[in-house]
Amino acid sequence: MFELFKLQTGEEPREDTGPNRWDWALLPLILALLSVFAFAAMQMSRPFLVGEALQVSLDPFYLPYYLLRTILRMFTALGFSLLFSLIFAAVAVKYAAAEKVMIPALDILQSVPILGFQAIAIAPFIALFPGNLLGVECAAIFAIFTSQAWNMAFSLYQSMRNVPSELAEAAHIFRLSGWQRFWRLELPFAMPGLLWNMMMSMSGGWFFLVAAEAISVAGQDIKLPGIGSYIAVAIEAKNGPAIAWAIAAMLTGILLYDQLFFRPLLAWADKFRFEESQGETAQQSWLLDWMRNSRWVRGWTEKFWGRLGRVLGWFSVHHDGTSEKMRKKLVSPVWSRLWDVGLILITLLAIYRLMSFIHSDVGWHEAVHVVGLGFITLLRVMLLIGLASLVWVPIAVWIGLRPQYSQKVQAVAQFLAAFPVNLMFPLVVFVMLALNLSPNIWLSPLMVFGTQWYILFNVVAGASTIPNELRLAADNLGLSGWLKWKRVYLPAIFPSFITGAITASGGSWNASIVAEYVTWGKTTLVADGLGSYIKQMTEAGDFHRIALGIGIMCIFVTLLNRFFWRKLYLLAEDHIR
């Protein structure tokens, strides 16, 4: 029909650009989302003075409004986390000298508790927006950002480091610049794992939401309208029905952004799977199908990607690190040694300052006591991560190899990962008091309750990217049982597992602040450990001991990552290559 029209008229047929039924179906949805988020954004920048009371009602009628404010904060933080991850991973992978600083810095950042970031950031943000609620909102968004960014950055870094050698060789043959290599090879290859970690990061934001939205500054308690503040008020009031309403609101919010955001992205990213043939099933999204059938959306996306491609073309260069010309410039033993000497001097200076701080402000006896508490928390973390791995790795591989099931459990897994441990305090306190259980033992599972999902999500992402050809080859060779796991599944998901284990370990140290010090009304249960020490010093306002606790936690997490998890990560990287 096309050729007949062209022969008869000599002109190209014009594609109908008018709206179709899919456009009219999408238009109300898009307008509704824009309207509600614009309304919430306006509420975030209203006049406010420190000391002014912000009322948070436990009436369920206000929960949709609180849910809207919370989701807007979380997506704003997610956008900044994605931007940070792209920059961090690109620089760390391309420049070996920067990598020596950035990866240890990431270990330290993920070990700093959210309370530490919040204590540092709240005053500058309020000073940046005087007389406006936006300063407190920015502090809350920054706190949520610190619970999301490190996981995403490390996931993207790990994926970019493990690009298959045949793809890297093809990029070298086609002489892709560093910028082209990032956008056309490394980022697409990392996309499935990045999206799963974005989901986990959103859930991690829910986990620390109470600390992010219920802020204490200058002796004033500021509770921003949101689900986190609603939960904090319900816990203070020992209001069980209000907690049940908060759980229902959380589930509603997770289902909404799963269907409207993550499910379409996962279905879209299925085209980046590293295989020659499509698997038996692929991710499906009703919203993505609507958007693909919409003439307006298709036209807008084509224009957007066309303009983006022209913009990215401005940054193309003639050589990257794969060329001999650039390799000679980048590798310099003299500068490399000077850089290493500089890092050693900075490390020695930091150790000296730490020793001076301990000697003059807190005392060596207190420091030794805190280090002992750190070893107790370390034992809990390693034991719980090991148990969680034994449970979730087989389940995650089974889910990742079956996309039809992964879609069904996706929202459930997000909800479980997002479930704040604070909501379990009533049940935990009741059971432990009724059975006279030891807090040192039975509060420990709370540490891994919200962080074990890092292992699940990362292994699901790793298993879902196993090429279908490899799975078919294993079946044709008759591999089964433990031999199939040993030769196919475990080597394939090992890098993803290490990424999940590192982030789960760092998250568990953070979660110890909540899990080792449990309150419900006037009842408090305390377990010995570094997390409960930091929490108690925070409530007492002892800033020197807060700094000591956070510093010791950073040292433990950094050394654990450097001498244990990083060794396993390098083993996984060498094995893949």
Query: pLDDT (tens digit, 9 = 90+) per residue, 36-66?
Result: 888 888 888 888 777 677 788 888 899 999 9
If you write DSSP's letter for every residue of 386-438 in order, what string do you get? HHHHHHHHHHHHHHHT-HHHHHHHHHHHHHHHH--GGGGHHHHHHHHHHHT--
- In this prediction, residues 74-86 reach a mean pLDDT of 93
Which helix (H) or strand (E) segment holds residue 240: the answer is helix 240-257
Q: How confident is the model at residue 22 (pLDDT cuts 50, 70, 90)?
A: confident
CA distance 475 to 487: 12
Q: What is the pLDDT of residue 5?
A: 38
Q: Which of 548, 554, 523 is nearest to 236 (CA)?
A: 523
Please give the Cα distance from 549 to 546 (Å, whole number). 5
pLDDT grade, residue 375 (50/70/90)? very high
Q: What span, in angstroms and rounded, lies between the C-alpha atoms of 129 and 150?
A: 27
Residue that wins the pLDDT comparison between 450 and 104:
104
pLDDT of 350 > 80? The answer is no
Q: Which helix (H) or strand (E) holds 469?
A: helix 468-476
Least confident of 30-44, 146-160, 508-522: 508-522
Cross-strand pairs, 322: none
Query: What value does the mean pLDDT take over residues 6-19?
Result: 52
Q: pLDDT tens digits for 393-413? A: 999 888 888 777 766 776 677
**What's the pLDDT tens digit per position in 475-504?**
788 777 788 888 888 888 888 888 888 888
Instruction: Give the model's confidence band at 322: pLDDT under 50 very low, under 70 low, under 90 confident, else very high.
Output: very low
Q: Measure the CA–CA gap between 530 and 560, rounded to whole angstroms.
A: 15
> What pLDDT score was predicted for residue 487?
82
Query: pLDDT: is 404 or 517 the higher one?
Result: 517
pLDDT at 69: 92
pLDDT tens by residue, 434-443: 788 888 888 8
Pairing label, strands 523-526, 517-520: antiparallel
pLDDT, tens digit, 9 for 90 and up, residues 550-559: 888 888 888 8
Write the class of the CATH domain 53-271+283-293+363-576.
Answer: mainly alpha
Return the structure tokens found at 402: 């079956």
Assess contact for 152 and 104: CB atoms under 8 A: no
Q: How confident is the model at residue 191 (pLDDT cuts 50, 70, 90)?
A: confident
Q: For 342-365, what is the mean pLDDT? A: 73
Mean pLDDT for the chain?
A: 78
pLDDT at 12 over 50: no
* Residue 259 CA from chain centroid, whole number: 19
At residue 13, the pLDDT reads 47
Instruction: In whole angstroms, give the CA distance from residue 286 to residue 198.
Output: 21
CA torsion, ordered 495, 498, 503, 504, to nearest 10 deg: 130
| pLDDT tens by residue, 225-264 | 888 889 888 888 878 888 889 888 988 888 888 888 888 8
Element (H, E) at 222: strand 220-223
Kindly indicate the confidence band of residue 68, based on its pLDDT and cuts at 50, 70 and 90.
Answer: very high
Over 90: is that where the pLDDT of 78 sits? yes
What confidence tens digit (pLDDT) does each residue in 102-138 have? 888 887 787 777 766 776 777 788 888 888 888 888 8
Sequence length of the chain is 577
Q: Rounded to the nearest 5 degrees, what angle is found at the Cα of 435, between the Cα atoms of 431 and 440? A: 80
Q: What percent of the chain has pLDDT over 90?
A: 7
Q: What is the mean pLDDT of residues 148-167?
A: 84
Q: What is the mean pLDDT of residues 209-226?
A: 75
Calculate what percentage of the chain has a pLDDT beyond 70: 83
Please, what is the Cα angle at 454 between 512 and 75, to 5 degrees?
95
Name the pLDDT band for 8 (thresholds 50, 70, 90): very low
> For residues 154 and 575, which has the higher predicted lDDT (pLDDT)?
154
The tokens describing 330, both together, are: 């980048």
464-474 mean pLDDT: 79
Query: What is the reported pLDDT for 324?
Result: 39
- Give yes or no for residue 14 having a pLDDT over 60: no
User: What pLDDT was estimated at residue 115?
Assistant: 66
**∠ CA 456-196-163, rounded to 5°:** 100
Backbone angles phi, psi at 56, to 5 degrees: -120, 110
Q: How do the domains of the chain map onto residue ranges? A: 53-271+283-293+363-576, 294-331
Provide mean pLDDT across the span 276-298: 69
